[in-house]
Amino acid sequence: MAFELREGIFAIDEMRNVSIRIGKVIEEAEEWAEEMGPTPKPGIIELRKWDMKLLERYEPFYAPVQDFCNLCTMGPCDLSQNKKGACGIDLKTAKARLVTIACCIGAASHGGHARHLLDHLIEELGEDYPIDLGGNVNVEAPIIRTVVGIRPRTLGDLKEAMEWAEKELMRVLHATHIGNEESYLDYESKAMHISMVDHVLMEIADIAQIVAYNMPKAEPNVPLTDTGFGIVDKNKPVIVVVGHNVLYSKPILDYLEEMGRLDDFEIAGLCCAVHDMTRVSGGRAKIFGPISYQLRVIRSGIPDVMISDEQCIRADLLQACKAMGIPLIATSDAAARGLPDASDWPVEKIVNALVTGELPGVFLPVPEKVGQVAPLVAEAIFKKHGGNRKYRFFANDEELWNEINKCTQCMNCVFTCPHNLRIDQGMAHAQKTKDLSKLAKLEEQCIACGKCEQACPKNIKIINVIMASNFDRLYNKKGKMRVGRGPIQDTEIRNVGQPIVMGQIPGVIAAVGCANYPDEAKSLREILEEFVKRRYIVVTSGCHAITLGMITDEEGQTLYEKTPGDFDAGGLANVGSCVANSHIAGAAIKIANIFAMRPLRGNYAEIADYVLNRVGAVGFSWGPYSPKAAAIATGFNRLGVPVVVGPHGAKYRRAYLGKYFKKEKWWVYDIKTRSKVPIEPAPDALLVAVETKEEAIVQLARLCIRPNDTSLGRQIKLTHYLELSQKYLGKLPDDWHLFVRSEADLPLKMKDELLHILESEYGWKIDWDKKKILEGPIRRYDAGFNPTIVEEVYEKYAGEKPPQ
Amino acid sequence: MAFELREGIFAIDEMRNVSIRIGKVIEEAEEWAEEMGPTPKPGIIELRKWDMKLLERYEPFYAPVQDFCNLCTMGPCDLSQNKKGACGIDLKTAKARLVTIACCIGAASHGGHARHLLDHLIEELGEDYPIDLGGNVNVEAPIIRTVVGIRPRTLGDLKEAMEWAEKELMRVLHATHIGNEESYLDYESKAMHISMVDHVLMEIADIAQIVAYNMPKAEPNVPLTDTGFGIVDKNKPVIVVVGHNVLYSKPILDYLEEMGRLDDFEIAGLCCAVHDMTRVSGGRAKIFGPISYQLRVIRSGIPDVMISDEQCIRADLLQACKAMGIPLIATSDAAARGLPDASDWPVEKIVNALVTGELPGVFLPVPEKVGQVAPLVAEAIFKKHGGNRKYRFFANDEELWNEINKCTQCMNCVFTCPHNLRIDQGMAHAQKTKDLSKLAKLEEQCIACGKCEQACPKNIKIINVIMASNFDRLYNKKGKMRVGRGPIQDTEIRNVGQPIVMGQIPGVIAAVGCANYPDEAKSLREILEEFVKRRYIVVTSGCHAITLGMITDEEGQTLYEKTPGDFDAGGLANVGSCVANSHIAGAAIKIANIFAMRPLRGNYAEIADYVLNRVGAVGFSWGPYSPKAAAIATGFNRLGVPVVVGPHGAKYRRAYLGKYFKKEKWWVYDIKTRSKVPIEPAPDALLVAVETKEEAIVQLARLCIRPNDTSLGRQIKLTHYLELSQKYLGKLPDDWHLFVRSEADLPLKMKDELLHILESEYGWKIDWDKKKILEGPIRRYDAGFNPTIVEEVYEKYAGEKPPQ
Amino acid sequence: MAVKKEDKYPVARRYQIADVQVSREATAVKPQVVVNLIKKAKHPVLITGGQLLKDEKLVEIAVKFYEKGIPIIATGGSSKPLIEKGVNPQSVVFTLHQVTQFLLDEEWKGFDGKGNYDLVLFMGFLPYYLSRMLSALKHFSKITTVALEEFYQPHAKFSFTNLTANKDMYYSMLEEIVNNL
Amino acid sequence: MAVKKEDKYPVARRYQIADVQVSREATAVKPQVVVNLIKKAKHPVLITGGQLLKDEKLVEIAVKFYEKGIPIIATGGSSKPLIEKGVNPQSVVFTLHQVTQFLLDEEWKGFDGKGNYDLVLFMGFLPYYLSRMLSALKHFSKITTVALEEFYQPHAKFSFTNLTANKDMYYSMLEEIVNNL
């Protein structure tokens, strides 16, 4: 009996009902030599000890949005003042449970997305399709390696990680059922667990699509792509995609390319769907804007057909499109939108139903068919109006003014607007002076959620009024976004690893998330420009990346056009859509691995401990809004990366905020000196909401400080922190002295001044001859300082139990 | 090269990194000949068409508990009057989404439970451990066969179903993320999907534990076990278990048995954990009561040690135990309760910490260790008090009266009590007359949730007052519950299949779920006794089964003692704990399969269609409270089984209620006559909440009617329906005539009377000579009537497309 | 019109402290207001609940409503005592849950075929069960709902104030209504 | 003491219609009540927010508070204009989020080391951000919170009524407080 050895299932003659499956045939040279760490495929309590370390220091803070619970039939229960409900749960624990549920939903979103992509791509390309992220990426799935303990080489390998993640979701969600956890700390631990899973899921999704769709592979110099209303050629049929999963809309590109008709259409879109369309099309797809542009785009009447997939899409999309006569093709099984399933219909029948308006939309979960139907529909609709789309929010000025004149300044809109925008004042001003400028100004801040229209007793089309008031600016907006590059190269990590860990690169600022900005969108650029100029590494993704591509300066240029795309000091790297956030976490992990040679495999706590103490990376989400964003942030937190959120982030109800004054909580084991040493409170928060851009800037600089900074690194970090505090807060920060370990940490230019302050205000002893600090710091700087807060890590490197 | 063929992984010489796994070696005789149906391992839209059929007829009804949403940071949003929120979702869709989330959490609970059990048992017994449910069960996993399309023969096979379920959970939960479904119907379809998954998960869990722990295997004559406070021998150390997962507490029995010390301890418990303990111990474990007995038991001071696992446990268990000096061992990773993980501690250290009170509890997720620690702790604690447990709610009468006298009748308690119990009146009456009887009466209704104490401005220990007022009755309560039998035998199905489908057995009443009863618990018995006497088949499980075991009649007997345990007319079959509910759904499926020979494999829609039209089974949950109960009910609904819930069930927010007057919605395809025929509205609801026991009884009888009833069957069903309506509602029901197809359907004794009413009140034409109905019915009875509402089923059996 | 603090009436206190919604709460009304509502209604109906089985006085009141020409939908078994006292309810077998579902349907013709009801009075229900039904009607219909209950019902359009501390007042308010019809 | 309807003051309207909780809503107060609260307080503090960067009048008022001896915790960048006018805030770098976390800790000694604050005044915040912080303080601390905001803040213990339609009244109420300290 002989058989050839390939992977697959084999039937053997004469042996009924026996199948021989040949497992992975692995080249010896490629064998993964790394030893398995302590926690591969961790269950929901395996990393509880690590979480409790974090939670002990970064105490959960709860700001209840509702102080009651009505999830079970014994309720509703009043939980105010931390009272207990019928099941015995108190308010804090109830909030922690809700946070856990939200993180589960967030992780499930990326997971549903990843699973669908993966199954689809494996069906198309086979399990053996190799994971090749280009020559510069050898550590190609740092999160999966660290968490799951495997090294995926093929799409099929990703399934193993996927199945583990699915299992963990069920177990964590289980814990949120009535009558499980009693302590909010345990719910936080579970929220962290599922959020770590979320990072694995994002990595699966993005790796799968990069390799299968040949998206840019860790390329810093990816092309720029057009953004804004102004870049759409309205003389072509316009196909608009919205959502997150490129698998449904990519076939449109494929089909048009095959037909040689790409140039006959405009393909544009919103949110991550188009983000990733630009990655597969090399910049051919165009970006209307972030998630908050949905009603702007639909009510502008520009789309000739709309393609929706999943997540963050308006739940009234069909209604909104229908009102404008735009046919809708819903594609994802997560959002069938109540539409008839047209999977089995012939293409002509679908096109006909949509073009005649017989149906306002169809549910078409067959990507290839979407590829054919969408252009046909767009073309037919385009033919009807001949490029002369009449509707531009209002048919004419009279209609606009009729709406404005209806307003009685009852302020119902103001009291329901997420930003309490003073629509009443804009309307009143316009009524009195015929000047639309106050209304136009609102457009810069409006997220076009439409709640104002729901509240208006006069049924004023407020969104349209606002958009029409800023019509020319909005319609002519043009910008450039650098297409998502995907992972960070190993070589880049090698270059920046040391300066980051030592502190000479003052920090990595990762601006990610949604578009619920508290202020005009341009504030995002203002914040990040500060860090680009100061040669921090700035990374971005998702709607933040899109927004950055839409804000131009006086020269008409976006930040992308002025900044290289490297993961390097002074660079601005756009990694891609939401799921590409995994590359940011991955970069932090790769610093520990590639630069510091820490083993990854199943070794989460050590890596997170390394990141917390050494990698000065801070997440920043200026406009977070969704459970996905909550999961992403919480996943970063577990990895030891602090996250700063805009003020709306306070509505997530829970933050992780340390207290500088609890001195007993700020310590590490120092492996070098074999001792437990007090440390400066750095970073002193894992999740904190700021109110203004000024505050955001200072907090970001502040939270980049790490115990492991060298003197030079600390000096650089403090220089920026102090300068920014002076610039934006008007003086030195209150806590700068806590971060001074020796005179070498002090910013050079201010050294004398600061030494004087340390002496006079803080009572430190200074040797003025040598300009040395004699007494005062929490601890002295030690070049060999080797901090950890994990007993097992201490033991591993010190060879003995940690000191008490 | 030769190798022996067994299952397992084999290394082949000289072939590095190649493993050959020999798949399942299946005896030819055992090959599952059944062809695969259309929907094995269905995804979230595969059965959408079936759902839409149900939802078209049984329109979702929403009773919002809250009319706003605050899940994302654009909120909170006012959704009242079906307004849309910032994401565009309206109130109905938001409620449907919440229902979907609740069903996900419910399914995840059973799933987390099942996964943990399965992994543990496979580790212990191996993947090949056979699934043997006894000689009378050949169709051993009807739900898994129908839904997943596999026939599991070993524990390892169950993993395949488990992994599919985990995948589906992620996909459904994904759809609940902001910005997915637009239509409440699609959320309902997804809620149904994950609830069907829930039934698969319950089946996995119960089959695994039955075969691994040798629980009763489909035995009607299982032993009776003791229930109530009165049966606990307080002169022994008392170990109390609470929760749902027997895997954590069974080792206690094993250890004591091994030590030969079983008789030296009392092992009692609450809720499903003890339910299943009685199944593994053959009745040695004793049952304190259902879930609502937690505070009763703890505050009675009887437990010497408490073992908690997961689900439905009070979230303040540790606090409650600590207040009574009862050490707590938390065992499940779903509920670590903020306690230190003692997994690695030596047994002595754990025991010592608990007995000395150094720690109020430990987290000990190692079942074997729990088996050793629990008895040692109980014994040591027992030694301390020597059997003389002082605390009995109050140390003495004076303390009780001091509490009572504090009451000012502010009624805060009344306005927070889930049942609005008139605690104020009980207190006032006692204050005035020194008579505790009004307070004692409350004990019968009180679910001991403790919210009253949270609300009381005087901090009165209201629960203790109520319990102490009924002390003697409560403390001496004794009853008998028939131990959970597990599945229904194939032979039983063969016996009752035809009479159920034809209607001669008037119905199957499945009383399942939690203990949030709207009335005194004895009402449950009153309701079910009516059906037992009328020779319906009554099945029960979970807390309903426990409650039934606690209600004795004047002769001191429970319903179990008066009724056989068969799945047969007049029987009362207790299938077991919550997860054993799968056997009830399984029985309905088996009727379709074993009696009607309908193929199961991957053939869900046909089976559900069969059940809906033919199997007169109705679920009944008098005191449902949890998301698990919501998922169980919704899973039954998708399978075509209506569910009646008590009034608290209205708080689930969503019901499925048909409208008898929408005549166009009541139709089937008749395969026999090749036509689409109007039918009677039977059943006319899939989920309905009733207010009183009287109403429950009538609705249950009413909802047993099915289109497929034979004349004799319909006659019998109508006889009961009409009699019960007259008995409890005072007259004939309003809609009885809708169910009359011919004179042969009429109850014999009332035939003339009813014919007269049909003529005089409803204008029917009667041939009085022949006593025949000439005109009037919605349709005529036809003996070969073969109804379906599924086009594919029609086509399959009719061999042609269905008529329009 | 609405019950004011300075009146003799107790304050309107929700039957369940945490049963909160954004939308308007019921106007707490005096009996005369209810009388006026009934008189103005084109197609009023009284729905009775299962608590009539425990409270004879409510049965008595319902009978008087009936005698004054207000049709009754009897749920929860409340039909039995009513029928014994000569009432012929429009329906006895449908639960309040079902009746509410019917009420929500603008196409429903009522049990009497005269079209949907425009004013629905509720009496004798478990407060938490009624509350949910009133919520459904508040959000998804235009029907005027009136709770004639011992507990104030926040989700009704109009409700008696909270009368739990004074059952006599509750009864007398009900009497006042039926006597003035 | 509380703002009554018959007063000249507008009604207290939640900044966000759906920001509802079971627990008590803020008492809407007149300036003199705030003056009395401050005078009675042992350790009061004013926390200023980022809206001072957009509203010079608020800066002016905060300076006056400071001059009357009320210490200031400046957040959101509000320190910059304050410092320019001679204020020396107790803290400038901590966000309101962090300061609230500190306030929740009974062991905190305050930025001045004199122990936790007993009366905290808030001025110049984004309403939704402040609302969450007030909710945390309401449920998990005993601190008396006073919102001196244009929008009525339901989760404070005391709050100005809603003054969005009349900014002059808002400023004059603030003036009235500082003038009477």
Nearest CB to C16; choose among B79, B415, B653: B415
Q: Is C19 on the interface with A (CB under 8 A)?
A: yes
Establish how many alpha carbons lie within 13 A of residue A681's alpha carbon, considering only the half-sphere containing its beta carbon: 19
Task: Encode pLDDT of A89-110 as tens digits.
Answer: 999 999 999 999 999 999 999 9
Give the distance from residue C56's alpha carbon to the nearest chain D alpha carbon, in angstroms.
35
What residues 444-463 of chain A have any CB closer than 8 A to a CB of chain B?
A: 447, 449-451, 454-455
Answer yes or no: do B424 and B553 share one domain: no
> Hey, are the CB atoms on C18 and D18 less than 8 Å from each other?
no
Give the distance from residue A623's alpha carbon to the nearest chain C alpha carbon, in angstroms.
26
Give the distance from residue A692's alpha carbon to the nearest chain C alpha carbon, in angstroms.
30
Is residue A387 very low, low, confident or very high in pLDDT (cuts 50, 70, 90)? confident
Among B324, B358, B385, give the residue marking a domain's end. Answer: B385
Residue A532 covered by a domain: yes
Among A213, A241, A262, give the residue marking a domain's end. Answer: A213
Q: Which of C13, C15, C20 to mutate to test the interface with A (most CBs of A within 10 A)?
A: C20
Question: Is position B104 annotated in a ligand binding site?
Answer: no
Q: At CA C85, angle to CA C82 and CA C86, rounded to 5?
A: 95
Q: Which residues of A touch D74 (CB under 8 A)?
A: 729
Question: Is position B704 annotated in a ligand binding site?
Answer: no
Task: Encode pLDDT of B214-273 as tens digits.
Answer: 999 999 999 999 999 899 999 999 999 999 999 999 999 999 999 999 999 999 999 999
Answer yes or no: do B80 and B198 share one domain: yes
Question: What is residue D4's predicted lDDT score, i.e. its pLDDT?
Answer: 61
What are the residue ranges in chain C where pLDDT is below 50? 1
Answer yes or no: do A453 and A534 share one domain: no
Tell me what the mean pLDDT of segment B649-657 comes to: 97
* Number of other CB atoms surrounding residue B260 within 10 Å: 8
Answer yes or no: do B442 and B490 share one domain: no
Q: Is C20 on the interface with D (CB under 8 A)?
A: yes
As a whole number of angstroms, the distance between CA D24 and CA D29 comes to 15
Q: Which residues of A touch D127 (CB under 8 A)?
A: 420
> Hey, are the CB atoms on D20 and C17 less than 8 Å from each other?
no
Task: Encode pLDDT of B164-209 as tens digits.
Answer: 999 999 999 999 999 999 999 999 999 999 999 999 999 999 999 9
Residue B16 covered by a domain: no
As a whole number of angstroms, the distance between CA B449 and CA B623 comes to 14
Question: What is residue A31's predicted lDDT score, i.e. its pLDDT?
Answer: 65
> Hey, are the CB atoms on C20 and D17 less than 8 Å from each other?
no
The DSSP secondary-structure symbol of A36 reads P
Answer yes or no: do B470 and B501 share one domain: no
The secondary structure element, H or E, covering residue A201 is: helix A184-213
Question: What is residue A537's predicted lDDT score, i.e. its pLDDT?
Answer: 98
Which two structure tokens, joined as six digits, stand for A68?
């009651």
CB A72 within 8 A of CB B629: no
Among B324, B314, B331, B325, smallest CA distance to B359 is for B325
Please tell me which residue of chain C has the smallest CA distance to D14.
C22
As a whole number of angstroms, the distance between CA A322 and CA A316 comes to 10
Which two structure tokens, joined as six digits, stand for A510?
């990762």
Task: Encode pLDDT of A667-708 as tens digits.
Answer: 999 999 999 999 999 999 999 999 999 999 999 999 999 999
Q: Is D23 on the interface with C (CB under 8 A)?
A: no
Task: Encode pLDDT of A284-316 as tens digits.
Answer: 899 999 999 999 999 999 999 999 999 999 999
Q: Is A343 on the interface with B (CB under 8 A)?
A: no
Answer yes or no: do B234 and B209 share one domain: no
Please tell me which residue of chain D has the smallest CA distance to B78.
D18
Q: Which residues of C touch A68 (CB under 8 A)?
A: 18, 20
Asked whether the predicted pLDDT for residue A17 surpasses 60, the reply is no
Task: Encode pLDDT of A199-223 as tens digits.
Answer: 999 999 999 999 999 999 999 999 9
Which residue range(s) make up the domain with B407?
397-476
Q: Is C151 on the interface with B (CB under 8 A)?
A: yes
The secondary structure element, H or E, covering residue A107 is: helix A91-125
Among A361, A309, A367, A316, smallest CA distance to A340 is for A361
Q: Which of B65, B71, B78 to mutate to test the interface with D (most CBs of D within 10 A)?
A: B78
Nearest CB to A730; choose among D18, D79, D108: D79
Tell me what the mean pLDDT of segment A249-278 comes to: 95
Residue A764 covered by a domain: no
> Hey, are the CB atoms on B75 and D17 less than 8 Å from each other?
no
Answer yes or no: do B197 and B256 share one domain: no
Asked whether the predicted pLDDT for residue D3 surpasses 80, the reply is no
Answer yes or no: do A168 and A295 share one domain: no
> Hey, are the CB atoms on A68 and C16 less than 8 Å from each other?
no
What are residue B643's DSSP bridge partners? B619, B687
Among A727, D65, A109, smallest CA distance to B175 is for A109
Is residue A281 very low, low, confident or very high in pLDDT (cuts 50, 70, 90)? confident
Type of residue at B653: R
Nearest CB to A61; choose among D108, D127, D136: D136
Answer yes or no: do A613 and A679 share one domain: yes
Among B508, B579, B567, smallest CA distance to B542 is for B579
The CATH number corresponding to D27-180 among 3.30.460.10, 3.30.750.24, 3.40.50.1220, 3.40.50.300 equals 3.40.50.1220
Q: Which residues of C touch A69 (CB under 8 A)?
A: 18
Answer yes or no: do A514 and A649 share one domain: yes
Residue A378 covered by a domain: yes
Question: What is residue B390's predicted lDDT score, i.e. its pLDDT?
Answer: 73
Please tell me which residue of chain D has the smallest CA distance to B75.
D18
Question: Is position B456 annotated in a ligand binding site?
Answer: yes
As a whole number of angstroms, the distance between CA B155 and CA B127 comes to 5
Q: Which residues of D touch A64 (CB under 8 A)?
A: 21, 135-136, 139
Give the relative orientation of helices A397-406 and A462-469 as an angle to the nearest 10 degrees.
130
Tell me what the mean pLDDT of segment B725-738 comes to: 98
Give the distance from residue C22's alpha carbon to the nearest chain A alpha carbon, in angstroms.
12
The CATH number corresponding to C27-179 among 3.40.50.1220, 3.30.70.3340, 1.10.1040.10, 3.40.50.12780 equals 3.40.50.1220
As a whole number of angstroms, the distance between CA A326 and CA B653 comes to 34
CB C64 within 8 A of CB C41: no
Among B652, B596, B337, B296, smallest CA distance to B469 is for B296
Is residue B48 very low, low, confident or very high in pLDDT (cuts 50, 70, 90)? very high
Number of domains in chain A: 4
Task: Encode pLDDT of B279-334 as tens digits.
Answer: 998 778 999 999 999 999 999 999 999 999 999 999 999 999 999 999 999 999 99
As a whole number of angstroms, the distance between CA B153 and CA B144 comes to 11
Among A385, A413, A448, give the residue marking a domain's end. Answer: A385
Q: Which residues of C touch B414 (CB under 8 A)?
A: 164
Tell me what the mean pLDDT of segment B759-779 comes to: 97
Type of residue at A469: S
Question: Is position B72 annotated in a ligand binding site?
Answer: yes
Asked whether the predicted pLDDT for residue A471 surpasses 70, the reply is yes
Percent of chain A beyond pLDDT 90? 93
**What average pLDDT does the structure give for chain B?**
94
Asked whether the predicted pLDDT for residue B19 surpasses 70, the reply is no
Please tell me which residue of chain B has the smallest CA distance to C110.
B661
Task: Encode pLDDT of B50-76 as tens digits.
Answer: 999 999 999 999 999 999 999 999 999
Q: Is A76 on the interface with C (CB under 8 A)?
A: yes
What are residue A510's DSSP bridge partners? A539, A619
* Number of other CB atoms surrounding residue B7 within 10 Å: 15
Phi, psi for residue A775 in degrees, rounded to 5: -145, 150
Q: Is C4 on the interface with D (CB under 8 A)?
A: no
Domain range annotation of chain C: 27-179
Is this complex scored with an ipTM above 0.85?
yes
Answer yes or no: do A281 and A348 share one domain: yes
> Hey, are the CB atoms on A70 and C16 less than 8 Å from each other?
no
Answer yes or no: do A430 and A508 share one domain: no
Q: Between residues B196 and B19, which one has the greater pLDDT? A: B196
Q: Is C93 on the interface with D (CB under 8 A)?
A: no
CB B521 within 8 A of CB B444: yes
Asked whether the predicted pLDDT for residue A9 surpasses 50, the reply is no
Residue A628 covered by a domain: yes
As a whole number of angstroms, the distance between CA A497 and CA A490 comes to 10
Report the Cα–Cα distance between both ends of chain D, in Å, rounded.
18
> Hey, are the CB atoms on C22 and D22 less than 8 Å from each other?
no
The secondary structure element, H or E, covering residue A69 is: strand A68-69
Q: Which residues of D touch A418 (CB under 8 A)?
A: 128
Among B547, B605, B593, B590, smallest CA distance to B572 is for B547
For the four alpha carbons of A54, A58, A64 and A68, in that order, the dihedral sign comes to positive
Tell me what the mean pLDDT of segment A455-466 comes to: 97
Please tell me which residue of chain C has the smallest CA distance to A85.
C18
CATH number where A258 lies: 3.40.50.2030
Question: Is position B77 annotated in a ligand binding site?
Answer: yes
